[in-house]
Amino acid sequence: MFAKIYVFRVMPKEELMKSIEKYCQKNRITSGIIIGIIGSLERLKLSFLKELPGKYITKECKGPLEIVNCQGSIAKLIPDNKTVLHIHMTASNEKETVSGHLSEGIIFSTAEVVIGELDYQLKRKKDDHTGLNELIERD
């Protein structure tokens, strides 16, 4: 299933999504599973789907926050062949826990990212009903 497993660190003050995109580009990862991310954030933006087609709201949380759970996918968007990340995260401080679709995260101390590169290409395509770039079945 996995062609290779990658483990890397995102440094303080770096933006998590951009760092993962950059790492994937550098290592030519276009199809994979984000197995997990742990670490801490100084700021987090999460999005929540409110209605179809594809209407989101965004919540910003100030840290420091601990990344409790994080997983997602890396796929090619059809037909433009762009690599896209789809990540969901749960984070907490001493008072609350929040979770949702990761829009932005600024690293506080560190983030340890684990990606399993797949031996086949995941693909996404805009769905007329949801208005979102949905995963499509494997060829």
**pLDDT score for 131:** 87
In a domain, 45, yes or no: yes
Query: Is 132 within a domain?
Result: no
129 located within any domain: no
Indicate whether this model's pTM tops 0.85: yes
Residue 108 lies in a domain: yes
pLDDT in tens, 1-40: 899 999 999 999 999 999 999 999 999 999 999 999 999 9
Domain-embedded: residue 136: no
Exposure b/e, 94-124, CB count within 10 A at least 16 = b = eeeebebbbbbbebbeebebbbbbbeeebbb
pLDDT in tens, 40-99: 999 999 999 998 887 889 999 998 999 999 999 999 999 999 999 999 999 999 999 999
H/E element holding 131?
none
Is 128 contained in some domain? Answer: no
- Domain coverage including residue 16: 2-121
Question: Mean pLDDT over residues 128-136, rounded?
Answer: 90
CATH number at residue 27: 3.30.1330.80
Is 130 domain-assigned?
Answer: no
The number of domains in the chain is 1
Residue 134 lies in a domain: no
